[in-house]
Amino acid sequence: MMAVTSACKDGTKIAMDNGKYVRYTPEQVEALERLYHDCPKPSSMRRQQLIRECPILSNIEPKQIKVWFQNRRCREKQRKEASRLQAVNRKLTAMNKLLMEENDRLQKQVSQLVYENSYFRQQTQNTTLATTDTSCESVVTSGQHHLTPQHPPRDASPAGLLSIAEETLAEFLSKATGTAVEWVQMPGMKPGPDSIGIVAISHGCTGVAARACGLVGLEPTRVSPCQLDRMVAEILKDRPSWFRDCRAVDVINVLSTGSGGTIELLYMQLYAPTTLAPARDFWLLRYTSVLEDGSLVVCERSLNNTQNGPSMPVVQNFVRAEMLPSGYLIRPCEGGGSIIHVVDHMDLEPWSVPEVLRPLYESSPLLAQKTTMAALRHLRQISQEVSQPNATGWGRRPAALRALSQKLSKGFNEAVNGFTDEGWSMLESDGIDDVTLLVNSSPSKMMGVNISYANGFSSGSNSVLCAKASMLLQNVPPAILLRFLREHRSEWADSSIDAYSAAAIKAGPCSLPGARAGSFGGQVILPLAHTIEHEEFMEVIKLENMGHYRDDMIMPVDIFLLQLCSGVDENAVGTCAELVFAPIDASFSDDAPILPSGFRIIPLDSGMDSPSPNRTLDLASALEVGPTGNRASDDNAGNSGNRKSVMTIAFQFAFEMHLQESVAAMARQYVRSIIASVQRVALALSPSRLGSHTGLRPPPGTPEAQTLSTWICQSYRCYLGVELLKNEGTESILKSLWQHSDAILCCSLKAMPVFTFANQAGLDMLETTLVALQDITLEKIFDDNGRKTLCSEFPQIMQQGFMCLQGGICMSSMGRPVSYERAVAWKVLDEEENAHCICFMFINWSFV
Q: What is the rounded radius of gyration, in angstroms, for the C-alpha atoms of the chain?
A: 31
| CA–CA dist 468, 22 (Å, integer) | 72
Residue 692 binned pLDDT confidence (cut-offs 50, 70, 90) = very low
| CA–CA dist 75, 71 (Å, integer) | 6
Return the pLDDT at 290: 93
Residues 422, 445 contacting (CB under 8 angstroms): yes
Which residues sit opposite 300 in a β-bridge? Answer: 286, 326
Give the mean pLDDT of 202-212.
91
Strands 802-811 and 817-829: antiparallel
Residue 207 binned pLDDT confidence (cut-offs 50, 70, 90) = very high
| CA–CA dist 689, 682 (Å, integer) | 10
Strands 198-202 and 208-216: antiparallel
Residues 330, 233 contacting (CB under 8 angstroms): yes
Give the mean pLDDT of 678-692.
68
Residue 517 binned pLDDT confidence (cut-offs 50, 70, 90) = very low
Mapping DSSP to helix (H, G, I), strand (E, B) and coil, where does residue 470 land?
Answer: strand
Q: Report the chain's mean pLDDT, rounded to a whole number.
A: 76
Which residues sit opposite 329 in a β-bridge? Answer: 297, 341
Q: Which residue has the higher pLDDT, 154 or 86?
A: 86
| CA–CA dist 365, 419 (Å, integer) | 28
Residues 495, 547 contacting (CB under 8 angstroms): yes
Residue 615 binned pLDDT confidence (cut-offs 50, 70, 90) = very low
Mapping DSSP to helix (H, G, I), strand (E, B) and coil, where does residue 490 land?
Answer: helix
Is the four-CA dihedral 570, 492, 557, 505 of positive or negative sign? negative
DSSP letter (8 states) at residue 476: -
Residue 21 binned pLDDT confidence (cut-offs 50, 70, 90) = low
Q: Which residue has the higher pLDDT, 830 or 696?
A: 830
| CA–CA dist 525, 528 (Å, integer) | 10
Answer whether residue 492 shows pLDDT above 50: yes
The H-assigned helical ranges of 488-538 are: 495-504
Strands 318-320 and 279-290: parallel
Answer whether residue 745 shows pLDDT above 90: yes
| CA–CA dist 149, 172 (Å, integer) | 15
Give the mean pLDDT of 685-702.
44
Return the pLDDT at 340: 92
Is the four-CA dihedral 723, 729, 734, 739 of positive or negative sign? negative
Q: pTM (2 decimals)?
A: 0.65
| CA–CA dist 132, 110 (Å, integer) | 33
| CA–CA dist 357, 605 (Å, integer) | 10
Q: Which residue has the higher pLDDT, 754 or 525?
A: 754
Answer whether residue 249 shows pLDDT above 60: yes
Q: Which residue has the higher pLDDT, 129 or 345?
A: 345
Q: How many CB atoms lie within 10 A of CB 749?
A: 12
Answer whether residue 119 shows pLDDT above 50: yes
Measured in degrees and rounded to the nearest 5, phi and psi for residue 562 equal -85, 125
Answer whether residue 153 shows pLDDT above 80: no
The H-assigned helical ranges of 130-213 are: 135-147, 158-176
Give the mean pLDDT of 586-609.
76
Q: Note if the bond before 220 is cis, omega within 30 degrees.
A: yes
DSSP notation for 228-250: HHHHHHHHHH-GGGT-TTEEEEE
Give the mean pLDDT of 167-191.
86
Answer whether residue 447 shows pLDDT above 60: no
Span 778-833, pLDDT tens digits: 888 887 777 777 777 777 788 888 888 888 888 887 777 888 888 899 999 888 88
Span 467-480, pLDDT tens digits: 999 999 988 888 88
Q: What percent of the chain is predicted at pLDDT more than 90?
A: 25
Identify the burial level of 669 via C-beta atoms within 10 angstroms of its C-beta, where 0-12 means exposed, 13-18 middle and 19 or more buried. Answer: middle
Answer whether residue 490 shows pLDDT above 60: yes
Residues 485, 477 contacting (CB under 8 angstroms): no
Answer whether residue 458 shows pLDDT above 90: no
| CA–CA dist 467, 430 (Å, integer) | 13
Q: Which residue has the higher pLDDT, 569 or 561?
A: 561
Lowest model confidence (mean pLDDT) among 78-92, 236-250, 678-692, 764-778: 678-692
Residue 555 binned pLDDT confidence (cut-offs 50, 70, 90) = low
Answer whether residue 635 shows pLDDT above 70: no
Answer whether residue 134 shows pLDDT above 50: no
Return the pLDDT at 3: 39
Residue 143 binned pLDDT confidence (cut-offs 50, 70, 90) = very low
Answer whether residue 646 shows pLDDT above 90: yes
Q: Which residue has the higher pLDDT, 184 or 639?
A: 184
Helix, strand and coil percent figures for the chain, each rounded to 5: 40, 25, 35
DSSP notation for 387-437: H--S--GGG--HHHHHHHHHHHHHHHHHHHH--GGGTEEEPPP-S-TTSEE
Lowest model confidence (mean pLDDT) among 53-57, 368-372, 433-437, 518-522: 518-522
Residue 531 binned pLDDT confidence (cut-offs 50, 70, 90) = low
Answer whether residue 252 shows pLDDT above 50: yes
Give the mean pLDDT of 321-345.
89
Residue 568 binned pLDDT confidence (cut-offs 50, 70, 90) = confident
Answer whether residue 205 shows pLDDT above 50: yes
Q: Which domains does the chain have, with CATH numbers?
A: 24-112 (1.10.10.60), 158-391 (3.30.530.20), 405-445+461-546+556-606+643-685 (3.30.530), 703-847 (3.30.450.20)
Lowest model confidence (mean pLDDT) among 65-69, 232-236, 487-491, 507-511: 507-511
Is the four-CA dihedral 122, 127, 133, 134 of positive or negative sign? positive
Span 391-409, pLDDT tens digits: 555 556 777 888 888 999 9
Answer whether residue 768 shows pLDDT above 60: yes
Residue 78 binned pLDDT confidence (cut-offs 50, 70, 90) = confident
Return the pLDDT at 194: 61
Choose among 548, 558, 452: nearest CA to 500: 548
Give the mean pLDDT of 210-238.
81
CA distances to 280, 498, 686 from 152, rounded to whole Å, are: 28, 61, 55
Give the mean pLDDT of 749-771.
83
